[in-house]
């Protein structure tokens, strides 16, 4: 136990035979249960875990017969942790990227009642980002902004960070079966946490890279998660501001999007009308610009109101 709370750690693993042993060996002694979820590995990951489990009774192996995705693996671990009555459940990847020395920093805000979900943040300073490629940092920055807008957690950073801890109360409230099963699950989970008003905090820690190789292909990952976040954004507006409660900011968002897109498309047509059809651009251009500016104002007001609503209501 840690500060009189039962702690579970979910370790998703897919073809991690080289690093899973080192990961398990470094998990602190105060952790009560370690849920290793093998997500259809084709190497010797399962054999390595079983060897460690023989000497460590905390280790529970959960197997997926086929690869279902890292999000699905974590959900399987969450469900088992709930069954076992864990008070807080952390996630530490099977590639040994997550330094166990920072685990108390994730647990403390939840134990002290300051948060329901704590996540790592590697983007706080250049020193913490050491070892992170420029392409990875660029992609993370884009997804950070998109996740802020989709989730409503406007103060968070580094939403791709999988080093997290969540309270058992939050796990019981959200529908785990609806969590996105692949990479992008962490962004999707934040959206669902916001709808029910759960408090989220960032915990700064340095990036830690070693012998592991990232399985994320950012050229495909960024467009896929961006589409997921777009759908999540509209789902959040519907659930939080229409179904569970009501707030006029949903109309500000709606009008802002409609007018902004209309003004932008009008500007494109104005350029086409001028340079292709040879017509005058003045009236069409000015009208399009005016509509775009009005739409932008609506969006800015909506974002401001959304920021004011952050963590203001809880439905648990």
Residues 27-36 have pLDDT tens digits of 999 999 999 9
Look over the chain and give the mean of its residue pLDDT values, rounded to a whole number. 92
Residue 316 banded pLDDT, cuts 50, 70, 90: very low
Structural domain boundaries of the chain? 7-241, 247-309
**pLDDT of 56 over the 80 cut:** yes
- The token duo for 65 is 């017969």
CA angle 96, 78, 150 (to 5 degrees): 85
CB-based contact 35:80 (threshold 8 Å): yes
d(CA 183, CA 79): 19
pTM (two decimals): 0.91
d(CA 217, CA 101): 29
DSSP 61-116: EEEESS---HHHHHHHHHHHHHHTT-SEEEE--TTS-S-GGGHHHHHHHHHTTS-S
Instruction: Look up the CATH architecture of domain 7-241.
Output: Alpha-Beta Complex (3.90)
pLDDT digits (tens, 9 = 90+) for 230-284: 999 999 999 999 999 999 999 999 999 999 999 999 999 999 998 998 888 889 9
Q: Look at residue 311 in the predicted model and tell me its pLDDT.
A: 59
d(CA 294, CA 260): 7
Beta-carbon contacts of residue 269 (< 8 Å; ≥ 6 apart):
284, 288
Q: Look at residue 135 in the predicted model and tell me its pLDDT.
A: 77
Question: What integer is the mean pLDDT of 123-142?
Answer: 79
Return the percentage of the chain with pLDDT > 70, whole number.
95
Asked which of 116-130, 166-180, 213-227 is least confident by mean pLDDT, the reply is 213-227
pLDDT digits (tens, 9 = 90+) for 136-194: 788 888 899 999 999 999 999 999 899 999 999 999 999 999 999 999 999 999 999 99
d(CA 200, CA 148): 12
How far CA 297 is from CA of 57, 258, 260, in Å, comes to: 58, 12, 9
Q: Tell me the helix, strand and coil percentages in the chain, rounded to 5.
A: 50, 15, 35
């Amino acid at each position: 136990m840690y500060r009189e709370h039962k702690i579970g750690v979910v370790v998703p693993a897919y073809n991690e035979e080289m690093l899973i042993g080192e990961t398990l060996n470094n998990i602190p002694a105060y952790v009560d249960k370690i849920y290793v979820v093998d997500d259809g590995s084709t190497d010797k990951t399962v054999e390595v875990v079983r060897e460690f489990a023989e000497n460590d009774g905390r280790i529970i192996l959960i197997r997926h017969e086929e690869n279902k995705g890292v999000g699905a693996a974590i959900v399987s671990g969450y469900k088992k942790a709930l069954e076992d009555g864990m008070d807080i459940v952390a996630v530490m990847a099977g590639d040994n990227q997550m330094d166990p020395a920072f685990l108390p920093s994730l647990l403390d805000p939840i134990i002290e009642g300051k948060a329901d979900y704590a996540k790592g943040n590697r983007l706080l300073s250049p020193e913490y980002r050491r070892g992170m490629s420029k392409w990875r940092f660029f992609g993370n920055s884009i997804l950070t902004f998109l996740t802020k807008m989709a989730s409503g957690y406007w103060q968070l950073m580094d939403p791709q960070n999988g080093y997290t801890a969540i309270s058992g109360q939050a796990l019981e409230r959200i529908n785990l079966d609806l969590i996105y099963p692949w990479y992008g699950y962490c962004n999707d989970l934040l959206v669902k946490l916001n709808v029910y008003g759960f408090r989220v905090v960032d915990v700064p820690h340095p990036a830690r890279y070693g012998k592991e190789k990232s399985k994320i292909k950012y050229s495909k990952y960024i467009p896929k998660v961006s589409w997921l976040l777009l759908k999540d954004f509209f789902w959040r507006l519907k659930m939080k501001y229409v179904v569970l409660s009501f707030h006029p900011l949903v109309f500000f968002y709606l009008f802002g999007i409609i007018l902004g897109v209309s003004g932008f498309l009008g500007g494109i047509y104005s350029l086409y009308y001028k340079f292709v059809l040879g017509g005058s651009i003045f009236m069409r251009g000015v009208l399009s610009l005016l509509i775009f500016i009005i739409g932008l104002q609506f969006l800015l007001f909506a974002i401001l109101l959304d920021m004011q609503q952050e963590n203001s209501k809880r439905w648990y």
